[in-house]
Amino acid sequence: MSASIALIDCNNFYVSCERVFNPRLEGRPVVVLSNNDGCVVARSNEVRALGVGMGVPWFQIRALAEQHNIVALSSNYALYADMSNRVMAILSTFSPGQEVYSIDECFLDLGGFEHFGLARYAQTMRHRIRRLLGLPVCVGIASSKTLAKLANHVAKKRAAFDSVCDFGAFEPGELDRLLGEIEVGEVWGVGRRLAPRLGAMGIRTVLDLKRASPARIRQRFSVVLERTVAELNGVPCLGLEEVAPAKQQIVSSRSFGMPVLGLAELQQAVQSYTVRAALKLRRQHALAGAIHVFIRTNPFKQNAPQYSQGITLPLAAPTSDSITLSHGALQGLKTIYRAGFAYTKAGVMLAELIPANRRVPTLFDDPAQLARSTGLMQVLDRINLAYGQGTIKLAGEGLEQHWRMKSGRKSPCYTTRLAEVAVAHAG
């Protein structure tokens, strides 16, 4: 028997989360904006119907938004992450094999559950998530991950399927007919660059790609796309990754709320980002062997002088100490900084990560210093966890932080901050 893999995906996830706690948004056109209120990163169906694309800069659709009374919200990641955890916990009860693929999607291995009737089983998941959390989801089921993604797409787009589509229930000819109606760009792994190149070869629909010669695809493109062709033919090449692999790099970067010219403010920003990245590093019990810093001006502002530079510095020994990492980052920043530019973004990347318990002692180790550093970081993390991030900062992070990003339309942290829980009034 072939595999049965389900992909469960929340509809318009960020918008749906906002609607759970603010029912007045129901039925209205709503968008959620990226950090800095820059781009549209989630759209309600009403907004999609107006032709607003994903990732469109907010300022470009201001007039349209006004005309149609579109509600725009800053993103509230604490809320979405918490709701995501709840969704994933509910779904995990439907199968022992779960891969959490992103904040709003997961794969479930439904092998062995066929006797329930997979479509019916999926409807149970849907209804439970709707009832317990108030969130709408769609489910796609097929014999490979790539096909399950497509089945999910069909479940979303075609009302006749009632939000659940099981390719396994199709006759072979019937499935091919359907795949012949879907553009190749919808395939997982075919993005905006590959789709036109495939089109030029006469491969325009999913069915065309499914029937393409794997050898030719590999030769013209890569092994990655060759695997996609196999997956479309129901040959699974991508396994379920139930345990998230350890990260190979950790990035913290932000656009500024306003252009920054001086080194002093860049130093504050870079140090803040380093502290954030170091915290993520410690949370996954890892050490970084190198740190990369970058800064850049606004690439969209073509008539302004442009500068974009980064530098990678190896660390004397792998570490997760915020202070040591900050020293490295600031040293790198000094090297790449050039006066006379209006910077709009900076970032820090921790690389060459190793598990903390695999640290190899070096000649220059100072055991007392190492113990002090570990202890200090533990205290710092504990206090910031208890009293909120930023309660204790490094001096260089700055108190004013004029460069901080804009986020003026944020909803309350309904589920993660006691002071901000929703209050129901009776009578």
Partner DNA sequence: TCTGGGGTCCTAGGACCC
Nearer Cβ to DNA (122/269): 269
Nearer Cβ to DNA (19/254): 254
* Residue 213 near DNA by CB under 7 A: no
| 124 vs 118: CA distance, rounded Å | 10
**Binding pattern to DNA, positions 187-206, x when CB under 7 A?**
xxxxxxxxx-----------
Nearer Cβ to DNA (98/113): 98
The closest alpha carbon to 90, from 57, 119, 130, belongs to 130
Long-range contact list for 16-20, CB < 8 A, 24+ apart?
16/134, 16/135, 16/136, 17/76, 17/79, 17/80, 17/83, 17/135, 18/73, 18/76, 18/79, 18/411, 19/134, 20/83, 20/133, 20/134, 20/135
Catalytic member of 18, 46, 105, 231: 105
H/E stretch holding 33: strand 30-33
| 6 vs 163: CA distance, rounded Å | 13
* Binding positions for DNA, 42-61, rule CB under 7 A: 55, 57, 59
Tell me the window of 117-125, 165-173, 229-237, 244-252 that interacts with DNA (CB under 7 A). 244-252
* Binding positions for DNA, 91-110, rule CB under 7 A: 101-105
Asked if 397 is an active-site residue, the reply is no
Q: Which residues of 355-369 are buried (b: 16+ CB within 10 A; e: fewer)?
A: ebeeeeeeeeeeeee
Nearer Cβ to DNA (36/322): 36
Tell me the window of 43-51, 129-137, 249-257, 393-401 that interacts with DNA (CB under 7 A). 249-257
H/E stretch holding 24: none
Taken in order 96, 99, 104, 105, the sign of the CA dihedral is negative
- Phi, psi values for residue 137, rounded to 5°: -135, 160
* Residue 298 near DNA by CB under 7 A: yes
Interface size with DNA, residues (CB under 7 A):
48
Among 253, 271, 320, 415, binds DNA (CB under 7 A): 253
* Residue 405 near DNA by CB under 7 A: yes
Cβ-Cβ contacts under 8 Å for 161 (sequence gap 6 or more): 154, 155
Nearer Cβ to DNA (407/411): 407
**Binding pattern to DNA, positions 69-88, x when CB under 7 A?**
--------------------
DSSP code at position 193: T
Among 28, 68, 128, 280, binds DNA (CB under 7 A): 280
* Residue 259 near DNA by CB under 7 A: yes
Tell me the window of 208-216, 246-254, 328-336, 379-387 that interacts with DNA (CB under 7 A). 246-254
* Binding positions for DNA, 306-365, rule CB under 7 A: 344-345, 347
| 420 vs 159: CA distance, rounded Å | 37
Tell me the window of 23-31, 171-179, 183-191, 322-330 that interacts with DNA (CB under 7 A). 183-191
* Region class of 110: left (phi > 0), else alpha (psi between -120 and 50), else beta: alpha
* Residue 34 near DNA by CB under 7 A: yes
At 224, the amino acid letter reads V
Q: 311: which 2 tokens?
A: 């530098």
Q: Minimum CB separation from DNA for residue 371, in Å?
A: 28
| 424 vs 238: CA distance, rounded Å | 46
Query: Which residues sit at the interface with DNA, rule CB under 7 A?
Result: 34-36, 38-39, 41, 55, 57, 59, 62, 101-105, 149, 187-195, 222-224, 245, 247-255, 259, 276, 280, 298, 300-301, 344-345, 347, 405
Active site amino acids: 105
